[in-house]
Structure 1
Amino acid sequence: MQNTAETDPDAPIDVTPLLDDPHTAYAALRESGPVHRITGPDGQPAWLVTRYDDVRSAFADARLSLDKKHAAPGGYRGFALPPALDANMMNMDPPDHTRIRRLVVKAFTPRRVDALREPVRRVAEGLLDAMEERGGPADLIADYAGPLPVIVICDLLGIPQRDRRDFRAWTDALVTPDPAKPQAMRDAVGAMLEFYTSLIKTKRAEPDDDLLSDLIAVRDDATGTDGDRLSEDELTSLGFLILFGGYENVVHLIGNATLGLLEHPDRLARLRHHPAELPAVVEEFLRHSGPAPLAIRRFAKEDLEIGGVRIAAGDSVLLGIASANRDPARFPDPDAFDHGRDLSGHLALGHGIHYCVGAPLARMETATALGALIARFPGLRLAVPQGELRRRRTLRAHGLISLPVAWETRNEQVFEA
C-alpha cells in the first residue's frame, strides 16, 4: 500500500486499528508501504512515516520544520495555545531552538541527574509507604507512576507544595481531550497559563536554588548576551514544557514497564535477583513499549520525498516512533522483549537536535521507580484480568489509564537502580 498526495489526497486510511491494536497495525503498514496518508490527531490529513530508516532520517531532515508557520493554510488545526505557552522548543527550529535548548540542557546533565537519584528514591519510597499503609489493591498509575514524576519535576522547578495543582488533570485534558467536553481543554490551558504567570511572579520576588529561578535570572539579566536571552513568553513556555514533558512520558513508561513485568513473572523474578540489569530493561521497554507512538508533527518546508512518496510543501508529517522501534529491518524479532539486544539506535526519545532533553532524568526515574517497587512488593500481581485494563485510546500516547495491582508480603531487601 502506498499513497501519494497526487494520487489519493482525500482518502486517509482508517486509523482505528492504530488505536485498538497499534503494534499489529503498524506492522501491516510497514509491510504495505513506507509512508501513508492518515487523519492526524488534529483531525486533518497527515503523512505517517513507518519504517525505521525513513523515520530516523526524517528526524534529522532540516526540510521538515516544527514551526507551524510552515503549515499549509487550513492544513493543520492543532489546539491553539496562547503565545505564553506556545513559544517552546516543540514548535521551534534553529536558531531559536538551539538557543533555548542550550539553557535547558544544563538542568539534565549526568551529574545533576545523578544528584537527583537519592531524592527520587525517597519520593518513590514515600509513595510506596502510603500504598502499603492503605493496603491493596491499589491503582499503580494514580498512586505511584502518576504522582512520582510530578513531585520530581515540581521539586526541580521549585514549585512549593502549597502551589502544586492537579497537573495530571491538565495534561489529560490536552493529551486525551473529551470531544463531548471541548471547554475542558480551554479551561486547562487557562488554568496552566494563570498558574505559570503567578509562579514566575512569585519566583522573581523570592528566587531560590531551583531551575525556574535560574531561568528567570537568565531572562532578567540585562548583561546577558543575545544568544542567552529568553523572552517572557519563552520563559513561561519553558516551565509548561518541562512540567508537561516530564510528567506525561514518564508516567506512561513506568506503567507500561510495570505491566510488562507483571505479564511475565519469569522476567520479574530475574530482575529481582539481578537489579543491575534495570537500566537495560528500561531501555528495552522504551523501544518495545515506549510512551510516545508518534513524534510531534512536522511540516514540509518544500516539496520532498520520503521513501519514494511525494509530500507537498506545507503538509503535516508524523514520524512513527512505535513503528520504527519494531521494524524487523533494524531490530530482529522486534515484538520479543530482549534487554540483551543492541538498543543503541532506538528512537523512543527522538534523534538529532530534537533528542529529548530530559532523557537522562526519565531513564533514572523509571529505573528507580521500578527498583523500589519490585523490592517492596515481591508478591506484586495484577488485581484484575488483563482484558479489563483501561488504556488510552489516542495516537498521542501509549499508556494505561489505570493499573490495579495487589500484593502479599513485603520484602525488606532494598536495591537502587
Structure 2
Amino acid sequence: MSAPGGACPHGAAPGAPDGPGALPPVRDWPATDLPGTDFDPVLSELMREGPVTRIRLPHGSGWAWLVTRHADVRAVTNDPRFSRRAVLEQDVTRLAPHFIPVPGAIGFEDPPGHTRLRRVVAPAFTAPGVERLRGRAQEMLDDLVNAVLREGPPADLTAAVLAPFPLAVVSELMGVPPADRPRMHHWTELILSSAHGAERSARARQEMCDHFTALLRRRIAGGSPAGGGQGPGSRAGNGGSAADGSVTGLLAAGVADGQLTEAEAAGLALLLQIGGEAVTNNSGNILYLLLTRPDLWERLREEPESRPSAVEELLRYIPHRNAVGLSRIALEDVTVAGARIRAGEPVYVSYLAANRDPEVFPDPGRIDPGRSPNPHVAFGHGPHYCVGALLARMESELLLDAWLDRFPGLRFAVPTGQLRWRPGALIRGPESLPVTW
C-alpha cells in the first residue's frame, strides 16, 4: 500500500515512462457531479488507456488499480484472491470522505462467512418469494399513482412515486412497520450521501442499526411489530420470530438458532434496507432517458412485450453510481490482463465500464431494447451479486408499465436543463422529476 501522498510502491512514480515492468500512471479521478445520465468522461478516458489502470480518488490514501473490461471484472469479482474483508485493515483511496463499515457487514465479508450470512435471508429473495410480493407491490404502486392522477398535473414523480414506492416495497419485505418507514428513508439518505459529513453518516448508521436491533429482539422474544408487512415465503417459527417470512423474521430466527450474531443481523438488515434506495435513483434515471427519447418511449408504449428486455438494457446503460463502489485487496500476487497486482494492493472494478465493453455489447453507447444476449453486470457479479436483484427488476418493470400505460402524453414540466441531480451522492439519480401529462 502506498503512502498518503500517493507515492507508488516498488519505486514507480505516477506518470513513469513505459518500460519493462513499468506501472501505468496514476490518474486523479475527482468524480464530480455529472449532469443527467452522462457517462463519466474520466472513466471513458481510463477505459481507452487500457483494461487495467491506476486511479486516485478524492479521499483516503494512496492509489488503487482499476479494472474495466467485462471479462476481467467478472474474473476479479469471482476470485477469492481478492478480499473485501481485508479492506477494513487499510486506508484505501475512495470516493466517500468517510469510511464507516458496520461491524460484521456482509459487504465486507468473504466466503465462507459471506455465504453463511447470505444464506439466512436468501429465502425472501428467491424468484417465487419475489413473485409472491408482486401483487402487493402492484397495489402499493397503484395507490401512489392514483393519488397523483387525482391531484392532476403537474407533479414531482420522484417525491410522489419514485421515493415512496421502493421504500414501501423493501419495508414490506423487511417487515418494517409503516410508521417507521419515514425514518428509514431519512437515515438511508444520510448514509448514502457524502454531503453531510462523516459524523452525521455514522450517527445515521448507528441509529438504523439500533432500530433493527430492537426490532429483532422483539421478534426473538415472540412479538411481532404492529402493522408489519407480510413477507414472502411464510413459514412457522417458534416464538413467532419468522412466522411471516419477512427478512427481519428470518434474521431473528437465524440469531435465535445461532447462525449469526445480533450485530451481524442488524448490519445485514441495514444493508438490505438501504438497497431499496437504489431503485428510486435507477428508476429516475430510466424515466429521464425515456422522456428524452420520444422514439424509445413510443416503441415501448406500443410494444409492451418488449418491456422486460428493455428494462435489462436500460439497467445496463444507466449510470448507477458516481465513480466506483467498494474495493478489494489482493491477498497474493495476481496478474490481470497483463498487469501484475501485488499482494496488499487495492483493486476496484467498474461495473459501469464493463457494461459499455464493446467486445460484449456492440455499439454500447446505443440503447437497444431488443439487445440479446445482454449479460450486463448492473447488479454485480460473484459472491457479492446483489441479493435483491430480482426484487429490483420486478419494481422497475411495474414502474415502467405505470409510466407508459397510465400517464398519456407524459412529459417534463420544465426544460431538461433545469432538472437537478442529487449533489454529493454516491448513487446517481434525479433530485426531482417535475412532469405534466
Helix, strand or coil: the match of 1:299? strand
2:342 paired with 1:312: yes
- Aligned partner of 2:212 among 179, 188, 196: 196
The runs of 5 or more residues in structure 1 that have no matched partner are: 223-228, 408-417
Query: Could you tell me the TM-score, scaled by structure 2's length?
Result: 0.83
Which shows bigger deviation, 112-121 or 294-303?
Answer: 294-303
Which shows bigger deviation, 150-159 or 392-401?
Answer: 392-401
- What's the counterpart of residue 8 of structure 1? 13
Which shows bigger deviation, 96-105 or 34-43?
Answer: 34-43
- What's the counterpart of residue 239 of structure 2? none
Matched-pair contact (CA < 8 Å) for 1:41–1:396: no
Alignment of 1:206-217 (within 5 A): 206-207=223-224, 208-209=243-244, 210-217=246-253
Q: Kindly tell me: are residues 69 and 376 of structure 1, through their superposed partners in 2, closer, same or farther at Cα, counting changes over 3 Å?
A: closer
Which shows bigger deviation, 391-400 or 234-243?
Answer: 391-400
CA RMSD of aligned residues (A): 2.5
Matched-pair contact (CA < 8 Å) for 1:70–1:300: no
For 1:164, the aligned partner's letter is R
Per-residue deviation, 1:387: 1.7
2:279 paired with 1:250: yes
Q: Kindly tell me: are residues 70 and 144 of structure 1, through their superposed partners in 2, closer, same or farther at Cα, counting changes over 3 Å?
A: closer
Matched-pair contact (CA < 8 Å) for 2:309–2:371: no
Distance 1:232 1:76 in 2: 31
Alignment of 1:94-243 (within 5 A): 94-178=111-195, 181-205=197-221, 206-207=223-224, 208-209=243-244, 210-221=246-257, 229-243=259-273
Q: Which has the higher contact order (CA 8 A, sep 6+)?
A: 1
- Aligned partner of 1:68 among 86, 95, 101: 86
2:69 paired with 1:51: yes
Q: Kindly tell me: are residues 392 and 35 of structure 1, through their superposed partners in 2, closer, same or farther at Cα, counting changes over 3 Å?
A: farther
Alignment of 1:333-352 (within 5 A): 333-352=363-382
Distance 1:140 1:14 in 2: 36
Query: Could you tell me the TM-score, scaled by structure 1's length?
Result: 0.87
- What's the counterpart of residue 366 of structure 1? 396
Q: Deviations over 1:294-349 (max 9, x none)?
A: 34221111233322233332222211111110111221110000021124321111
The runs of 5 or more residues in structure 2 that have no matched partner are: 1-6, 16-24, 225-242
2:109 paired with 1:92: yes
Aligned residues: 394
Matched-pair contact (CA < 8 Å) for 2:192–2:425: no
Distance 2:286 2:39 in 1: 17
Per-residue deviation, 1:174: 2.2
Per-residue deviation, 1:142: 1.9
For 2:247, the aligned partner's letter is L
For 1:317, the aligned partner's letter is V
Per-residue deviation, 1:188: 1.3
Matched-pair contact (CA < 8 Å) for 2:414–2:435: yes
**Percent of aligned positions that are identical:** 38
Which shows bigger deviation, 59-68 or 24-33?
Answer: 24-33
